[in-house]
Structure 1
Amino acid sequence: MRYYGSVYRPPSEARSLIVQVTYGCSHNTCAFCSMYKEKRFALRPLEEVLEDFRLARQVYRHVDKVFLADGDALVRKAGELYTILDTVRELFPECERVTSYASPASIRIRTEEELGRLWEKGLTMVYMGLESGSDEVLTLMRKGHPASEIVEMGQKARRCGIALSVTAITGLGGPELLERHALDTAAAFNAMNPEYIGMLTLMVEPGTPLYDWVHDGSFRLLDQRQVLEETRLLVEGLDSPGSVFRMNHASNYLALRGTLNGDKDAMLAEIDRAEHDLSRLRPESWRGL
């Protein structure tokens, strides 16, 4: 396969065939994010995309999953996306799902008819970063969209049959916005009721504005007890029946998993145990992205 620059994918796409449909991220100004900084956003020539799929068919005997990279494949013209999905279906009839990242902006430019047709042609699920349900946090972190728009676009994707996996980041508001970040993020998840909820814990990457803020003292990180406090507030506020909740990323101090709302009490009990025994948490040196 031919790749340009660093390629990122969700943890659940570890065994997927990954093909770059776009290069980079169409927004790429979030204050906490270091991804795609070495390349400018661009649409990859369509024939190159299709050729990569043809090359992959010659190499791989069986492909269960396909992930369309980079950060925002859905900004392509609808007709080009149809062609890409038709090619996947033609070349890999055994493929069970096709996924991609999506932003509120790329979902907004798609009509519901287009989204429905993308689903019919095999776009099974999109991954979207909520980051926070607090507009104050989103503005601070230069997300580019208010929470209401992110929620609205998540609901739009689900109405059109496309499954939704949404992530947020514990600690993104610092100590000052701890409570607001937790409660508003839970409320946003509840409003979307996505198939999957993923929680990361903030890590500071060199080369980002957040890195500079931490080092000049204008942004304070949560300590482990504050992370647990914020996590408890978030989980207590969740009311999203059927959503699969995962907090088992390498960045997380505490691993939590369950299906809402049935496993909510068990997850709260796990948080209680960690609050009484911090040795249950992942050591700082073991955390990663």
Structure 2
Amino acid sequence: MRYVGSVYRPPSEAYSLIVQVTYGCSHNTCAFCSMFKEKRFAVRPLEEVLEDFHIARGIYRHVERVFLADGDALVRKASEMYVILDTVRELFPECERVTCYASPSSIRIRTDEELRTLRAKGLTMVYMGLESGCDEVLKLMRKGHTAADIVAMGQKVRQNGIALSVTAITGLGGPELLERHAVETAEAFNAMNPEYIGMLTLMVEPGTPLYDWLHDGSFQLLSQPQVLQETRLLMEHLDSPGSVFRMNHASNYLALKGTLNQDKDAMLRTIDAAEHNLNLLRPEEWRGL
């Protein structure tokens, strides 16, 4: 396979065939993010994308999942996405799932009819970063959208039959915005009621504005007890029936998993146990992105 620059994918796509249909991220100014900094956003030539799928068919005997990279594949013209999805279906009839990252901007430019057609042609799920439901945090982190914008686009995806996986980041508001970040993020999740909710815990990467803010003292990381406090507040306010909740990324101090709302009490008990015994948390040196 042919790749340009570093390639990133969600943890759940570890065993997927990954083909770049765009390069980089169409926004790429979030203050916390170090991804895709070595390349400018570009739409990959369609003929190259299709060639890669033909190459992959010659290499892999069985492909159950396909992930369309990079950071915002949905921004491509709908007609070109149709061709890509048709090609996947023709070459890999055994494929059960096709997914990609999507941004509020790329969802906004897609009509309802286009989204329904994408679903009919095999786009089963999109991954979208909420990061926070608190507008003050989103503005600070240069997300480029309000929480209401992100929620509306998440609802649009679901209303048109495409499954939605949404992520947010514990600690992104620092100590000052801990409570608002937790509560308003939960409210945003509730409003979208996505199929999947994923929580990461903030890790600050060199080369980002957030790294500079941390080192000049204008931003503070949460302590481990504060991370647990924020996580508990989030969980207390979550009301998203049927959403699969995962907080088991390598960045997380505490692993939580369950289905809302039925497993909420059990996850709260796990948080309580960790608050009473910090030795249950992942050691700092074991964390990663």
Judge same fold: TM > 0.5, yes or no: yes
- Structure 2 residue aligned with 1:41: 41
Q: CA deviation at 1:180?
A: 0.2
TM-score (norm 1): 1.00
Q: Secondary structure at the match of 1:258?
A: strand
- Structure 2 residue aligned with 1:127: 127
* 1: CA distance, partners of 2:143 / 2:161: 26
TM-score (norm 2): 1.00
What are structure 1's unaligned runs of at least 5 residues?
none
Let me know the Cα RMSD of the aligned residues: 0.2
* 2: CA distance, partners of 1:199 / 1:156: 22
* 2: CA distance, partners of 1:73 / 1:249: 23
> Is residue 115 of structure 1 aligned with residue 115 of structure 2?
yes
- Structure 1 residue aligned with 2:51: 51
Q: Secondary structure at the match of 2:177?
A: helix
Q: CA deviation at 1:156?
A: 0.2
* 1: CA distance, partners of 2:259 / 2:73: 29
- Structure 1 residue aligned with 2:14: 14
- Structure 2 residue aligned with 1:198: 198
> Is residue 228 of structure 1 aligned with residue 236 of structure 2?
no
* 2: CA distance, partners of 1:234 / 1:263: 14
Q: CA deviation at 1:100?
A: 0.1
- Structure 2 residue aligned with 1:265: 265
- Structure 2 residue aligned with 1:28: 28
- Structure 1 residue aligned with 2:157: 157
Residues 42-95 of structure 1 deviation map (CA, whole Å, 9 limit, x = unaligned): 000000000000000000000000000000001110000000000000000000
Q: CA deviation at 1:260?
A: 0.2
* 2: CA distance, partners of 1:112 / 1:149: 16
- Structure 2 residue aligned with 1:188: 188
* 1: CA distance, partners of 2:225 / 2:156: 37
Q: Secondary structure at the match of 1:130?
A: strand
Q: Secondary structure at the match of 2:203?
A: coil
For 1:152, the aligned partner's letter is A
* 1: CA distance, partners of 2:101 / 2:75: 10
* 1: CA distance, partners of 2:246 / 2:81: 30
Q: Secondary structure at the match of 2:214?
A: helix
Q: CA deviation at 1:197?
A: 0.2
> Is residue 86 of structure 1 aligned with residue 83 of structure 2?
no
Residues 107-141 of structure 1 deviation map (CA, whole Å, 9 limit, x = unaligned): 00000000000000000000000000000000000
Q: CA deviation at 1:268?
A: 0.3
For 2:109, the aligned partner's letter is I
What are structure 2's unaligned runs of at least 5 residues?
none
* 2: CA distance, partners of 1:189 / 1:74: 21
* Overall identity of the aligned pairs, in %: 83
* 2: CA distance, partners of 1:77 / 1:245: 32
> Is residue 179 of structure 1 aligned with residue 205 of structure 2?
no
